[in-house]
Amino acid sequence: MKNYQRSSALFAAAQQVIPGGVNSPVRAFKSVGGDPIFVKQAKGAYLYDEDGNRLIDYINSWGPMVLGHAYEPVVDAVIEKTKLGTSFGMPTEIETTIAELAVAMVPNIDKIRFVNSGTEACMSAVRLARGFTGKDKIIKFAGCYHGHSDAFLIQAGSGAVTFGHPNSPGVTAGTAKDTLLARYNDLDSVREIIAANTGEIACVIIEPVAGNMGCIPPRTGFLEGLRELCDTHKILLIFDEVMTGFRLAAGGVQELLGIRADIVTFGKVIGGGLPVGAFAARNEIMEYLAPLGPVYQAGTLSGNPLAMAAGLAMLTELHNKPEIFKSLEEKTKYLHQGIATTLEKHGVIHTINRLGSMISVHFAPDAVVDFESSAQGNNETFKKFFHGMLAQGIYIAPSAFETWFITDALTYADLDETIAAVNVVAQTL
């Protein structure tokens, strides 16, 4: 059993000066109880906390550290860049270099613009879609998360749901009325909304593999059907690949499942652990953006040289070593099988969803295919599971609505250690 005393003391101090002691709500352990762990440093697949515990990390900064913490090519690139100055607010060559690489890796995009977070990327993508189509309404799916900007905080999955505010106060009725809610994996729900709002819908935004209500892969034909509906009704299809981009394949879900999006958003992996987001599309759409076109979007620190250096180092590794995606998938599959066998052995009711290196364990009896079925999971069992795993030195996300993010830094010995921990914890569930 691990001791987390110093973390608890640091949390008490943080709560005096930071709301809830955290700068992003899901870091608090509100839905599982207890105090969050304060991390001191990390290397590869391991976190080292302020109490001196080593934890195997299945969050990996919520996705970015797909090659592990303190990954040397990324760290070195940032150190070298830092010596040359940290921000200029002027164009730099590295912005073109990473843009060229991203455009080469991702299908169906000609141009990309860099911002500072996934939230900013999605917010800007929707503005661009509205400007391009001249229409106001957007369709999103219950349980999908696209960052915390107003238009998206309507049944937004993970963090928002964990805190029991599916629709955040502070979002005006005017904004909310332009966001129409469909059901994930349910094309009919989209058809109905389109029929009731003919000619008014600018875009459909979706996590093409959902990751913020657990991991929910799209049903066969669902994304294809969406593509067709969007084409028929002249609606832009936005793939929010903030989580899946550069994780499920070098070209994200567009490449993995062979489906074309009109606008794609990125975050997480694209920044190699520094604050980076991006949105991209074909020329016709991107040329609507200022300074070429009328849709305004800007950022003092956008394309920041340190962030670009980290992102470029990360994408270069993924580009040069495509076998990483296979390796990630095989490790995740091994973990999936190990956990499933162990939970079955102990008679624990569960459903495990997985695609590539995204996996989630639901203590739910039935298939988890949308937000409603994800919410059927037993949160009391999840809480016990979470704290049990933590006591064994395994760090998974402190919410039943989160995906586990597998890093290639995990060894098979780490995976076996994790499965052994599940074996201990399952006996207490």
Ligand X SMILES: *Cc1c(COP(=O)(O)O)cnc(C)c1O
- Residues recognised as catalytic: 145, 240, 268
| Contact between 146 and ligand X per CB under 6 A | yes
Query: Rounded to an integer, what distance in angstroms lies between the CA atom of residue 273 and that of residue 290?
Result: 28
Mutual angle of helices 305-320 and 93-105, in 10-degree steps:
30
Q: Which is nearer to ligand X, 275 or 293 (CB)?
A: 275
Site string for ligand X, 222-251 (x = CB under 6 A): ------------------x-xx--------
CB-closest chain residue to ligand X:
118
The residues, any chain, with a CB within 8 Å of residue 96's CB and separated by 6 or more, are none
| Contact between 117 and ligand X per CB under 6 A | yes
Part of the chain binding ligand X (CB under 6 A), chosen from 7-15, 98-106, 145-153, 286-294: 145-153
Q: What is the DSSP string of 364-390?
A: -SS---SHHHHHTS-HHHHHHHHHHHH
Tokens coding 315: 């994408």
| Contact between 371 and ligand X per CB under 6 A | no
The residues, any chain, with a CB within 8 Å of residue 274's CB and separated by 6 or more, are 78, 304, 306, 307, 310, 311
Cβ-in-10-Å burial (0-12, 13-18, 19+) of 33 comes to exposed
Considering only 208, 211, 217, 398, the residue that binds ligand X (CB under 6 A) is 211
Sheet with 404-405, side-by-side order of all strands: 351-355, 358-362, 404-405
| Contact between 155 and ligand X per CB under 6 A | no
Site string for ligand X, 274-303 (x = CB under 6 A): ---x--------------------------
| Contact between 311 and ligand X per CB under 6 A | no
| Contact between 143 and ligand X per CB under 6 A | no
Number of residues that bind ligand X (CB under 6 A): 15
Q: Which is nearer to ligand X, 34 or 275 (CB)?
A: 275
Q: How far is the CB of 141 from ligand X (least distance, A)?
A: 11
Q: What is the DSSP string of 168-211?
A: -TTS-HHHHHTEEEE-TT-HHHHHHHHHHTTT-EEEEEE-SSB-
Contacts of ligand X in 169-208 (CB under 6 A): 207
Binding site for ligand X (CB under 6 A): 117-119, 122, 145-147, 207, 211-212, 240, 242-243, 267, 277
